[in-house]
Amino acid sequence: MNLIIFSGILSSVLVSIICYYRLYKKRLLFDNRYAMTISMTSAMIISLTLSMQYSFISSLPFEATASAMIFLGMMVGIAFGVLVRLHSVLSGISAGVTGGLMGTMVGSVIKNPSLCGLPMDSQRILLVDMAAFTIFGTMILFITMGLILFSLKV
């Protein structure tokens, strides 16, 4: 099961880097509104997916994991925000931080459902849930990045 989670993290990072590289090459075509939309969407979905997947494999306490994922979301938001002008950096940072927090919380609840008062399942079912959410999150990331790159052609 950890192989699925690690491959999900690796593929999410690779897709994010490829998408950033392709957007960076075409950054002169963007206006302010489009740049803000790209920075918010990409920062939110990348930080949500990566923080959820990282919280599955992290053995650190929740506070340390959440702090690291907030920082990761902030860096992703800054990276996608500065593609055009500095107007979209603030929206990218806020979307990245929000996605990092949401992903960390979702991952913690999937690992330990008793945090929300849900009945605790067997370890095998929890591992299957983690793998299912990893696959689902990675697919959502692929679809979102594909739509962002497709919007460059329209």
89 C-beta neighbours (distance < 10 Å), count: 20
Assess whether pLDDT exceeds 90 at residue 1.
Answer: no
Average pLDDT over residues 74-81: 93
Do the Cβ atoms of 58 and 24 come closer than 8 Å? no
In terms of Cα–Cα distance, which of 83, 72, 68, 85 is closest to 46? 72
Structure token pair of residue 13: 């990072």
What was the pLDDT predicted at 145?
94
In terms of Cα–Cα distance, which of 77, 69, 61 is closest to 102? 69
Assess whether pLDDT exceeds 90 at residue 27.
Answer: no
Torsion angle of the four alpha carbons 34, 36, 42, 43, in this order, in degrees rounded to the nearest 10: 170
Average pLDDT over residues 67-90: 90
Assess whether pLDDT exceeds 80 at residue 85.
Answer: no
